């Protein structure tokens, strides 16, 4: 019985060491002009990892944006993103070309409801499929 308990304890210790030293895969960020030329963030559906793809949006701010949307409801316009602490006018202006409301992937809406088509330098949104496990 003692040998069985010792073997079980040894197996548990080895398993604990294996699990404790295993590292998750790194979070891949695709930043750069080529990626951002085709990337869009739907302000009402994107997860925090999508927000982090934008230059100047780190993990803390990205999670704050998603948390604000969960607590205060959907954004009614692109300008509503500025209600999140840490998103000021300069940050919003910098990330605005990559934000979409999801109504039409080729257009964004301003606070007064006017549609704004992106410039020719900003291609259409790429539809991203959720990862399958």
The Cα 92–Cα 25 span in angstroms is 31
Reported as a single tens digit per residue, the pLDDT across 11-49 is 999 998 888 888 777 767 666 677 667 789 999 999 999
The Cα 73–Cα 76 span in angstroms is 9
Q: Give me the domains of the chain, ranges plus CATH numbers.
A: 33-116 (1.10.150.320)
Percent helix, strand, coil in the chain (nearest 5)? Answer: 45, 5, 50
Q: pLDDT value at position 68?
A: 95
Q: pLDDT value at position 118?
A: 45
Reported as a single tens digit per residue, the pLDDT across 68-118 is 999 999 999 999 999 999 999 999 999 999 899 976 544 444 444 444 444
pLDDT at 4 over 50: yes
Q: pLDDT value at position 86?
A: 93
- Distance set, CA 14 to CA 2, 9, 44 (Å): 18, 9, 45
Q: pLDDT value at position 133?
A: 47
């Amino acid at each position: 019985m003692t040998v069985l308990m010792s073997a079980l304890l040894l197996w548990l210790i080895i398993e604990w060491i294996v699990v404790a030293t295993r590292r998750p895969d790194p979070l891949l960020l695709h930043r750069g002009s080529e990626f951002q030329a085709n990337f869009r963030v739907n302000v009402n559906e994107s997860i925090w990892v999508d927000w982090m793809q934008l230059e100047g949006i780190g993990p803390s701010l990205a999670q704050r944006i998603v948390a604000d949307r969960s607590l205060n409801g959907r954004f009614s316009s692109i300008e509503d993103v500025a209600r999140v602490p840490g998103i000021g006018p300069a940050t919003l202006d910098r990330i605005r070309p990559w934000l979409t409301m999801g109504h039409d992937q080729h257009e964004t809406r301003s606070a007064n409801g006017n549609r704004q088509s992106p410039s020719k330098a900003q291609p259409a949104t790429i539809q991203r499929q959720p990862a399958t496990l």
